[in-house]
Amino acid sequence: MRVGRPIPAPPQPLCDDCGAKAKLARAGDETYPYLEDHGPVWICAACQAWIGVRARSKHNTPLGRLANAALRERKSQLHDALEPLVAAKMRRDGVNAFEARGKAMKWVIASLGLEVATPSIHALSLEQCEQAIRYVEEFQASRRPDRPA
């Protein structure tokens, strides 16, 4: 049992597109974006922007910023761009995929000098995702051996 001042609940997330307060949706709710239960999400139904909730969070703490369709697509592209680096890190250092992916995101964010609340893909904006994708692609291109013409 916690003794002392209570910890305040985190503020309700706001939609980056329209500024409205997001609502918490669970599987079975009309606004829930998935067909299967993927856990609760904070959603702005008007913009179709949503973000998941941290696992085992008692206060339904959001993973990051709400993502609309364009941002979700860029995040997916960034994951795809990082996969070869993640696989190499797993082989080389014997770490699991979650640790390798986390280290890759921290590396990209630090290398680009991005200002984010947490070093996670969930905290990136659309522009930051595009910048990170370009950086990873340029990094991978610089490491490929030159092919003779």
Q: What is the pLDDT of residues 60-85, one digit of tens each?
A: 888 888 999 999 999 999 999 999 99
61 DSSP assignment: -
Local mean pLDDT, 10-residue blocks, the chain (149 residues) = 69 86 90 88 91 86 89 94 94 93 92 84 90 95 72
The predicted structure's pLDDT at residue 123? 84
The predicted structure's pLDDT at residue 133? 96
Helical segments of the chain, H only: 69-93, 97-112, 126-143
The predicted structure's pLDDT at residue 116? 81
CA distance 17 to 11: 18
The predicted structure's pLDDT at residue 141? 92
The predicted structure's pLDDT at residue 109? 93
CA distance 148 to 5: 67
The domain ranges of the chain are 10-66, 69-143
Strand partners, 19: none
CA distance 55 to 141: 36
Among residues 19, 36, 18, which one has the least CA distance to residue 27?
A: 36
CA distance 141 to 126: 23
